[in-house]
A and B are shown apart, each in its own frame.
Chain A
Amino acid sequence: MKYSANSVWENNDGYDIAVIGAGHAGCEAALAAARLGFRTVMFTVSVDSIALMPCNPNIGGSSKGHLVREVDALGGEMGKVIDQTFIQSKMLNKSKGPAVHSLRAQADKADYSRAMRQVLEEQENLDIRQMEITDILAEDGKVTGVQTYSGCIYPCKAVVLCTGTYLRARCIYGDVSTNTGPNGLQSANHLTECLKNLGIKMYRFKTGTPARIARNSIDFSKMEEQKGDERVVPFSFTTDPESVQIDQVSCWLTYTNERTHEIIRNNLDRSPLFSGAIEGTGPRYCPSIEDKVVKFPDKNRHQVFIEPEGIHTNEMYVGGMSSSLPEDVQYKMYRSVPGLEKAKIVRNAYAIEYDCIDARQLKSTLEFKNIEGLFSGGQFNGSSGYEEAAAQGLIAGINAARKLQGKDGIIIDRSQGYIGVLIDDLVTKESHEPYRMMTSRAEYRLLLRQDNADIRLTRIGYDVGLISRERYQRLLDKERMIEEELKRVEHTNIGTSSKVRDVLEKYGSTPLNSGTTLAELIRRPELSYEKLKEIDEQRPDLPYDVQEQVDINIKYDGYIKRQMRQVEQFKKLEKKKIPEDINYDEIQSLRIEAKQKLNQIRPASIGQASRISGVSPADISVLLVYLKLS
């Protein structure tokens, strides 16, 4: 019995949309819903833990930085908040191609949380409520409201589930386990049952986090200092670049050694992962240190990054050494690392297990296929990471609002953004571990760069109603400037003057025998738009971001065009929609396996169907013919 019959009553504040959870997905979902004009209530088990970063103290990183920029271009909040609260920032992969440049910032966790909470509190139409939700109420396959642990019913027309790692959460290290969410927060133990009753298929996933160590117990002289970039680039397209040139703090690099590994190996039998006490499936991309030692026995050391959790805290995050080994082993293990000999643990490392869903039950809009008005985002959908969560939360929030507006949901496709790749993978492919974004998952990554996220998505954000007219106009101006400059550069002839020769010589570039265009010179690997400034007399004075687009578009022109052709092919299949009421059993020529998979996932388009494992090209042909017939 969750509540007594006496305590059941109905809230009459007239909410349209309820968001369950106040993590990175929940915050974006609630803000989007409220900003689109709907009365929104956001539930959390702890108001003090809004936008909490319970694991690593950073936002962004390879491909995740792309997600943050896309969220920003669509009118989300994450980028703006991290720009205000970061304490160090780096552009990763700067020496590589522009497609894999990725922004990553260390956050002051407490500041981030506080700043996001302030945005939420100041948001019109949005109320925050500390309460555990135990039931989703639905009638005739349609959401009608939610019910709290205390018994109160909140009638509403749409619900966004963003429960993160809190559902039936269990934290474990050694043989110690507690039924709590991350950081010892209260878990949500009742909702799973209700979801199962609604016919939702649940998975149990696992992840983990390293210990936090007291800064004043660390000997930094034995570590390498890792500084931020000299010139910081902001995440948000709305942030003034000058405002982020702050004094940054450092991170520190040290390494495990054979002794560390021996300690781990000697105590493997006491790990809940190896003893079988943990049933959830963990992610391969952030293995615990014991996993790394077992899986890569030839590596005699692993990197350990010591990262500050914030400015006003003594705690340091030990990146690279997440673990679920017993407490005494954790002490020994951490203290075997140079610089950590006298380390004092503030919080133990632990593994956490939680309930999440098989996201193939969702449409690409993140609405449940079998329950109208029920949406979900974030770790609840089987993903991992703050950025992945924010991206889904934003889309789920937007689409919950659009549902109430009577409009079709927004679907970012795989050629438009990492958000599209993320959601399409989640709702199409079976996953046995928490899903993390990676640039290699994006087949059109050359087009999906972090530098052009605004060009790709601001228009959609504007159409949805989360981007202001003014910001949209700025985008149009930028696009126009890029286009004009591209045209000019393609048609600017460069002769063989001595000035040209000198500039080419300066950059070690082959001298010209005859004239050529400026564009041709930019395409040379050793040259760039910027470097050729002195021989380009007619060059207009353009903002940096415009120059950057011109440079990239000219330089990688061949590759970009190639990917654009692939995208054209891709779009043709995406445009071929499959009716929702299609009866696959009726199509006799489909193979049985294909029928099963298609019935289970019920893809929205031929394109999506073609990405389902077990559906062959022959099956797709059959489908095409069948669709043509009916």
Chain B
Amino acid sequence: MKKETIAAVSTGMTNSGIGIVRISGEEAFAIADRVYRGKEKIAEAESHTIHYGHIVDQEEIVDEVLVMVMKSPRTFTGEDTVEINCHGGTFVVKRVLETVIKNGARPADPGEFTKRAFLNGKMDLSQAEAVIDVINSENEYALQSSISQLKGSVKTKISNIRNKIIYNTAFIESALDDPEHIEIDGYAETLKAASEEIINELEEMICSADNGRVIREGINTVILGKPNAGKSSLLNVLAGHERAIVTDIEGTTRDILEEQVRLGDLSLNVIDTAGIRNTKDVIEKIGVDRAKEYAGRADLIIYVVDASRELDENDEKILPLIRDKNAVILLNKSDLNTIVSEKMITEKACVLTGGDYKKKIPVISISAKEEKGINKLEKKIKEMFINGIVSFNEQIYISNVRQKNALISASKSMKKVVESINAGMPEDFYSIDLMDAYEALGSITGESVGEDLINEIFSKFCMGK
């Protein structure tokens, strides 16, 4: 396999006290030296020693760290390895990893450290089968998740860019292959304009990737509550615009609505569900079943209680769903006369589940209608997040980093095309970078290059003989 230097967060994307970013490969020390400022150069450090210093992104200090230097072969992977111990908190860890990647490491594939460890003879044979399983399941999962995480619009955008790239490459290649039939003199200017347009589009996507718009990065959050408790209103407040249909009629949310919400630095994938109640309406029934399903998989559940109405059997159905989950209970409709108090709901929760809650579920009073108490909710979720209660969906996070990386590398390749044109290089040199960009973008949409170029040449351009 390719022996590029790889990096990943090895402590998982939870908020433990410290986070470790591991770099492994031939260039591990060189890359570490590019991001680390301390007394000593990593490359000159002795093996198996720890060093204090800072991780810097250009001139900006990202974190104060301890760096462990381990030389091949006495490491987990058998390769030169650097482990950066940074402060816990997903943001810091993420920033450190991104800085490392920016400086030449490639995001590790799922299970790749283990795989390398095995291939470098660092594991015994009994572990091998397990390794295969990990590689298999994780690769497939990663591919699935990375593709399914793509929004339709982003996928279309990338496909369009890829089509433009392959068309231009095919034109150049057909002319090189059949110079007497197809003329490309002066084509450089056309290609330059097209490339610059592509670069702009890519850069835009890279920027929005930071805002979590490209990929559904974030905490999978499900809003639960009985009909007309104000779930959709809450979603609308969080999303900042009307998306769910809000009426006074129970059961207006028939399906599952999804929304990306920014809460300060946090990104939530909020799923609004149909209210949970016994229902005979088939369509709504499907919505309810799905709500339960989503709740089972959620990273965070926001349980909206209508504080103006008595708790009823519908609430009793919901409470078990939030058991053993990271949840926040919202007492909504604080603008009306409230019947349900914080104490009541907490007690109810304990009774229902036999007092089995692992932790106290926070309860917050809000008014979605008047947008009151939302700040408290934000603060609470952030607190949970930063304290590491809520764990990121690690796979999605990894695929995000990888996708963003692919966009960056595609953009870099396209810039090289423009450079080659500006430098007056002959046309055949453009193809190299054009195809690199094409391949990088394909890795986002899960498409390989294969015979695409040859097929494009034949289908779009009339060859001679």
A residues neighboring B (CB under 8 Å) = 56, 62-63, 92-93, 95-97, 99-100, 284-287, 292, 295-296, 299, 302-303, 305, 319-320, 322, 429, 438-441, 445-446, 525-526, 556, 559, 562, 569, 572-573, 589, 613, 616-618, 620-622, 624-626, 628-629
In the bound complex, what is the Cα–Cα distance between A525 and B420 (angstroms)? 10
Decide: B139 and A621 in contact? CB cutoff 8 A: yes
Q: Which 6 pairs show the lowest CB-CB distances between chains A and B?
A: A286-B465, A618-B139, A97-B426, A525-B424, A284-B458, A440-B173
Decide: B176 and A93 in contact? CB cutoff 8 A: yes
| Contact of B458 (CB < 8 Å), options: A285, A556, A620 | A285
Known contacts being A439-B428, A625-B132, A628-B128, is A319 close to B465, with CB within 8 Å? yes
* Interface check B1, CB cutoff 8 A: yes
In the bound complex, what is the Cα–Cα distance between A302 and B180 (angstroms)? 11
Decide: A629 and B128 in contact? CB cutoff 8 A: yes
Decide: A303 and B181 in contact? CB cutoff 8 A: yes
In the bound complex, what is the Cα–Cα distance between A313 and B194 (angstroms)? 50
A-B contact pairs, 8 of them (CB 8 A): A286-B464, A303-B180, A440-B457, A525-B425, A589-B132, A613-B450, A621-B115, A625-B128
A606's nearest neighbour on chain B, judged by CB, is: B1
Decide: A618 and B128 in contact? CB cutoff 8 A: no
Q: Which residues of A contact B458 (CB under 8 A)?
A: 284-285
| Contact of B179 (CB < 8 Å), options: A62, A286, A295, A556 | A62
| Contact of A618 (CB < 8 Å), options: B140, B179, B428, B459 | B140
In the bound complex, what is the Cα–Cα distance between A556 and B429 (angstroms)? 10
**A58 nearest CB across to chain B (Å):** 11
* Interface check B136, CB cutoff 8 A: yes
Decide: B428 and A617 in contact? CB cutoff 8 A: no
| Contact of A96 (CB < 8 Å), options: B125, B427, B451 | B427
Q: Which residues of A contact B239 (CB under 8 A)?
A: none
* Interface check B119, CB cutoff 8 A: yes
| Contact of B463 (CB < 8 Å), options: A96, A285, A429, A622 | A285
In the bound complex, what is the Cα–Cα distance between A338 and B132 (angstroms)? 67
Q: Which residues of B contact A618 (CB under 8 A)?
A: 135-136, 139-140
Interface residue tally of chain B, by bracket? 35 or more
Q: Which residues of A contact B423 (CB under 8 A)?
A: 525
* Interface check B336, CB cutoff 8 A: no
Q: Which residues of B contact A629 (CB under 8 A)?
A: 125, 128
In the bound complex, what is the Cα–Cα distance between A617 and B439 (angstroms)? 15
Scan B125-140; emit 1 where CB is below 8 A from any A CB, else 0. 1001001110110011
Q: Which residues of A contact B136 (CB under 8 A)?
A: 589, 618, 622
Q: Which residues of B contact A305 (CB under 8 A)?
A: 180, 464
Decide: A624 and B1 in contact? CB cutoff 8 A: yes
In the bound complex, what is the Cα–Cα distance between A387 and B333 (angstroms)? 82
Q: Which residues of A contact B450 (CB under 8 A)?
A: 613
Which chain B residues in 417-457 approach chain A with CB under 8 Å?
Answer: 423-429, 431-432, 450-451, 453-454, 457
B128's nearest neighbour on chain A, judged by CB, is: A629
Q: Which residues of A contact B115 (CB under 8 A)?
A: 621, 625
Provide the main secondary structure of the chain B interface: helix
Q: Which residues of A contact B1 (CB under 8 A)?
A: 573, 620-621, 624
In the bound complex, what is the Cα–Cα distance between A302 and B181 (angstroms)? 8
| Contact of A100 (CB < 8 Å), options: B176, B425, B462 | B176
A591's nearest neighbour on chain B, judged by CB, is: B136
**A37 nearest CB across to chain B (Å):** 39
In the bound complex, what is the Cα–Cα distance between A620 and B448 (angstroms)? 15
In the bound complex, what is the Cα–Cα distance between A100 and B426 (angstroms)? 10
In the bound complex, what is the Cα–Cα distance between A322 and B2 (angstroms)? 46
**A610 nearest CB across to chain B (Å):** 10
**B244 nearest CB across to chain A (Å):** 40
In the bound complex, what is the Cα–Cα distance between A19 and B369 (angstroms)? 89
Q: Which residues of A contact B280 (CB under 8 A)?
A: none
* Interface check B241, CB cutoff 8 A: no
In the bound complex, what is the Cα–Cα distance between A287 and B453 (angstroms)? 18
Q: Which residues of B contact A302 (CB under 8 A)?
A: 462
**A571 nearest CB across to chain B (Å):** 12
In the bound complex, what is the Cα–Cα distance between A284 and B464 (angstroms)? 10
Known contacts being A440-B453, A625-B118, is A292 close to B135, with CB within 8 Å? no
In the bound complex, what is the Cα–Cα distance between A446 and B180 (angstroms)? 22
Q: Which residues of A contact B428 (CB under 8 A)?
A: 93, 96-97, 99-100, 439, 445
With contacts A439-B428, A628-B118 known, what are 7 further pairs, Cβ within 8 A? A100-B428, A284-B463, A286-B463, A559-B429, A573-B1, A589-B132, A628-B119
In the bound complex, what is the Cα–Cα distance between A99 and B173 (angstroms)? 12
Decide: A438 and B177 in contact? CB cutoff 8 A: yes
Which chain B residues in 173-196 approach chain A with CB under 8 Å?
Answer: 173, 176-181, 185
In the bound complex, what is the Cα–Cα distance between A446 and B178 (angstroms)? 18
Decide: B176 and A96 in contact? CB cutoff 8 A: yes
In the bound complex, what is the Cα–Cα distance between A99 and B140 (angstroms)? 39
* Interface check B3, CB cutoff 8 A: yes
**A328 nearest CB across to chain B (Å):** 24
| Contact of B119 (CB < 8 Å), options: A438, A446, A625 | A625
Decide: A320 and B464 in contact? CB cutoff 8 A: yes
Known contacts being A295-B462, A559-B432, A572-B3, is A439 close to B139, with CB within 8 Å? no
| Contact of A62 (CB < 8 Å), options: B132, B177, B431, B454 | B177
**B451 nearest CB across to chain A (Å):** 8
In the bound complex, what is the Cα–Cα distance between A441 and B177 (angstroms)? 11
In the bound complex, what is the Cα–Cα distance between A322 and B465 (angstroms)? 7
| Contact of A621 (CB < 8 Å), options: B135, B427, B454, B457 | B135
Decide: B176 and A440 in contact? CB cutoff 8 A: yes
**B218 nearest CB across to chain A (Å):** 27
Decide: B119 and A97 in contact? CB cutoff 8 A: no
| Contact of A303 (CB < 8 Å), options: B132, B426, B451, B464 | B464
Q: Which residues of A contact B179 (CB under 8 A)?
A: 62, 92-93
Decide: B465 and A285 in contact? CB cutoff 8 A: yes
Decide: A439 and B424 in contact? CB cutoff 8 A: no
Q: Which residues of A contact B178 (CB under 8 A)?
A: 62
Q: Which residues of B contact A613 (CB under 8 A)?
A: 450
Q: Which residues of A contact B125 (CB under 8 A)?
A: 629
**A382 nearest CB across to chain B (Å):** 15
Known contacts being A617-B139, A621-B1, is A56 close to B118, with CB within 8 Å? no
Decide: A299 and B2 in contact? CB cutoff 8 A: no
**A138 nearest CB across to chain B (Å):** 34
**B108 nearest CB across to chain A (Å):** 13
In the bound complex, what is the Cα–Cα distance between A439 and B128 (angstroms)? 42
Which chain B residues in 1-39 approach chain A with CB under 8 Å?
Answer: 1-3
Q: Which residues of A contact B457 (CB under 8 A)?
A: 438, 440
In the bound complex, what is the Cα–Cα distance between A616 and B429 (angstroms)? 29
**B142 nearest CB across to chain A (Å):** 9
In the bound complex, what is the Cα–Cα distance between A56 and B463 (angstroms)? 15
A618's nearest neighbour on chain B, judged by CB, is: B139
Scan B108-126; emit 1 where CB is below 8 A from any A CB, else 0. 0000000100110000010
**A442 nearest CB across to chain B (Å):** 11
Decide: B429 and A97 in contact? CB cutoff 8 A: yes
Q: Which residues of B contact A284 (CB under 8 A)?
A: 458-459, 463
A617's nearest neighbour on chain B, judged by CB, is: B139
Q: Which residues of B contact A292 (CB under 8 A)?
A: 462
Which chain B residues in 137-178 approach chain A with CB under 8 Å?
Answer: 139-140, 173, 176-178
